[in-house]
Amino acid sequence: MRAHLYAACAILLLARVATAQQKTTLDVEMEFRAAQQKELVDGDLRGAIEKYRAVVSQAGSNRAIAAKALVRMAECYQKQGDTEARRLFERVIREYPEQQEAVALAQARLKGSPRTPVDSGAVVRKVWAGDILGTISGDGRRLSFTDWSSGNVAVHDFASGTDRTLTGNKPGSGARNAFAEESAVSKDGKQVAYTWYDDNARRYELRIVNVESGSTNPPRLLFHNQDQTWIAPWDWSPDGKWLAVTASRKDLTTQLGLVSTVDGSFRVLKSTGWSGPGKVFFSPNGKYLAFDAPATDTTVQHDIFVLAVDGSREVPAVVHPSDDLLMGWSPGGTHLLFASDRSGSFGLWALAFDDGKTRGAPFLIKSSIESNWSMGVTRDGALYLGTSTGNTNVVVASVDLTTGKELAPSAQPIQQFVGSNASPDWSPDGKQIAFIATREPRPRNRAQVVGIWSRETGTVRENARLPYVNSVKWNPDGRSLLLGGKDSKGRSGIFLADAQSGAVTPVALTSLENFVGHFPQWSPDGKKIFYRMPSMDGSGGSTFIERDVATGREREVSRGALGRISVSPDGEWIATITVDSSTKASSLILIPIKGGDSRTVLRVAAPQLLGVLTATWTRDGRALIVNKASPPSVNELWVVPIDGGAPRKLDVAFPGRTAISLHPDGRQLAFNTAVERKTEVWVLEGVLSSLASKP
């Protein structure tokens, strides 16, 4: 018996030691990420150096992270012009010889790469402020783009500094009923292939338009397929006869293929999971397609592959735990170019490619790169980059809901992932805010992260990660988060994330390919969730569903033109905004969850409207906070008593088009600033010319 007891104690002890070790490793990795945030997001080099130093001292047996931290620390010193950088690079080479990547980076910094001196001769400059969904012509003169003010596809001519519109939407009409998305200009700059969305037909098409003749030669429908939900051209073959495309199918898989520019025939080269390939570029000799894609259908990180255009073979060119994103081919096709975060931040790397095979190991040619979104490489080796900068942040406003007076100036407390934070939700104890951070600088998001900001420490920890998240709500017990979004298979659904570990489990998957507006909410007791489903009766409306968490049993609560769900504190009502399709009047209504007729609390006649994302209950359940808007620019917050009392305006600057979360103290409102992204085109010159010769 005693022996058993000793054994049990030993097992427990071992388990605790193992847990402690695991936690230490996790802590060090989190510390490393925090250091990166300080360096790369906050630009605080001194603070970053201290954090990297802490990582090195705590790394223990994790020599890989210690070496990486030393390299990053050295880079911080180097940016400050401090000679300490050299000493640290030398230390990495001397003390961490088995850490090949860190050593390679350190050597590159000290001596320069044997092929290309890192960063030497590199010139990066901004060349244009505009859309980044197009590509550059071979001579670097023309760039295709979408003019989002009209939805037209156009080309920007760098020689003349002028834009030429190629499609017929009215100027300033906005991208509403029909518009272009991705585009690719031919190598000779004479034609543009582009994605065209036609809202009447509800379909995406692949079209081609002649740049020179413009209006005299109208766009040509090249291809569309009833089984595809989206198609995009990425590159032209050098002879102009083929387009490299990716297409999303209705079964949520993706096809990488070629479309003939002559007859519009489509060849599917390879099918992948939902997230599919990222960028695709023809090799300069036209024999290969290079593309980046997730290594597996459950990972976010991309690797680089090269596929023969005749389908005869595929080469896994860059397979590495880091995120590797295709940037293109060097002039002459001697090297693959890719952005990789293997050194801690995204740098530009090259890998020799010859006779259908990769040669040697990748090497760094520029230590940091402005963007990992390539718009193509010109014949003389200029790499065009698209940057996308967000300006969306979480705002906390303090206001007395009774008087409507602001109690303190609004603040933006979350200082990590600045510019990409949205959809805040206060935790039940009011000590944390969960929010959604868009971590992917590419135009098409590949990953969104749920962050949790601590009021006590001011820090953010990353929680769950999904390809797409658009709503996050704390469970009333504070232990988990309810997410609306998409899983790695592209299925819309409702997910549960553990508030500590971030582990995600699906609650309900709806398999709806393009629907993301479930806006799931908890019942106050945490036993039920409510979510929104589009009605299947063709009415265009939606249905509110109640789901029992324990049994999975569901029932319909209400249907109609319903907006976001807001459950009352007593669990008796759902508040939502509904819009009358004929009069366009919007109403704040209360729907009894247990059944019965809904009642209208507030009705606003067009052109005024109530923001469909708002309708937030006050803590006492006697009123709702709603956004009353007078388009195009006036947005106000009002407190609307449900007993018919007079609504009162809040003295808070509110941007509109965002949900609101009310702190448990009933005074602090959290919401996000308007979702805006600024896109620019940059060019990197002077680093690829030395790659032109055969390796």
If the CB atoms of residues 549 and 653 are measured against other proteins, the closer one turns out to be 549
Residue 693 CA neighbour count, 13 Å, CB half: 4
Per-residue x/- track, 514-553, other proteins (CB under 8 A): ----------------------x---------------x-
Distances (CA, A) of 2 to 8, 19, 141, 434, 520: 10, 25, 83, 48, 53
Distance CA 590, CA 606 (A): 20
Per-residue x/- track, 597-636, other proteins (CB under 8 A): ----------------------------------------
Cis peptide before 607 (omega within 30 of 0): yes
Output the DSSP codes for 122-182.
Answer: -EEEEEEES--SS-B-TTS-EEEEEETTTTEEEEEETTTTEEEE-S-PPTT--SSSEEEEE
Q: C-beta of 509: minimal distance to other proteins in Å?
A: 6
Work out whether 509 is an interface residue with other proteins (CB under 8 A): yes
Rg, the chain, Cα only? 27
Work out whether 506 is an interface residue with other proteins (CB under 8 A): yes
Work out whether 250 is an interface residue with other proteins (CB under 8 A): yes
If the CB atoms of residues 259 and 652 are measured against other proteins, the closer one turns out to be 259
Residue owning tokens 């603040």: 411
Residue of 511, 581, 583, 693 interacting with other proteins (CB under 8 A): 511
Work out whether 226 is an interface residue with other proteins (CB under 8 A): yes
Residue of 156, 270, 320, 446 interacting with other proteins (CB under 8 A): 270
Q: C-beta of 506: minimal distance to other proteins in Å?
A: 5
If the CB atoms of residues 215 and 265 are measured against other proteins, the closer one turns out to be 265
Q: Which two tokens stand for residue 604?
A: 């606003």
Work out whether 269 is an interface residue with other proteins (CB under 8 A): yes
Residue of 112, 311, 458, 645 interacting with other proteins (CB under 8 A): 311
Residue of 27, 199, 212, 251 interacting with other proteins (CB under 8 A): 251
Residue of 491, 559, 603, 648 interacting with other proteins (CB under 8 A): 491
Of the candidates 583, 636, 587, the residue with the CA atom closest to the CA atom of residue 606: 583
Work out whether 225 is an interface residue with other proteins (CB under 8 A): yes
Per-residue x/- track, 460-489, other proteins (CB under 8 A): -----------------------------x
Helix%, strand%, coil% for the chain, nearest 5:
15, 45, 40
CA angle at residue 663 from 495 to 647, to 5 degrees? 110
Q: C-beta of 545: minimal distance to other proteins in Å?
A: 13
Work out whether 227 is an interface residue with other proteins (CB under 8 A): yes
Work out whether 316 is an interface residue with other proteins (CB under 8 A): no
Residue owning tokens 């029909």: 178
| Residue 422 contacts residue 392 (beta carbons within 8 Å) | yes
Distance of CA 171 to the CA centre of its chain: 29
Work out whether 267 is an interface residue with other proteins (CB under 8 A): yes
Distance CA 102, CA 185 (A): 39
Q: C-beta of 311: minimal distance to other proteins in Å?
A: 3
Work out whether 239 is an interface residue with other proteins (CB under 8 A): no
By CB under 8 A, which span of 303-311, 409-417, 565-573, 601-609 interacts with other proteins?
A: 303-311
Number of residues that bind other proteins (CB under 8 A): 31
Work out whether 221 is an interface residue with other proteins (CB under 8 A): no
Residue of 29, 90, 314, 341 interacting with other proteins (CB under 8 A): 314
Q: Which two tokens stand for residue 11?
A: 């097992």
Three-state SS for 553? coil
Q: C-beta of 253: minimal distance to other proteins in Å?
A: 4
DSSP state of 113: -
Three-state SS for 586? strand
CA angle at residue 535 from 530 to 541, to 5 degrees? 95
Residue owning tokens 């509800």: 202
Please give the residue ranges that form the binding site for other proteins (CB under 8 A).
225-227, 249-253, 266-271, 273, 297, 307-308, 310-314, 489, 491, 505-506, 509, 511, 536, 552
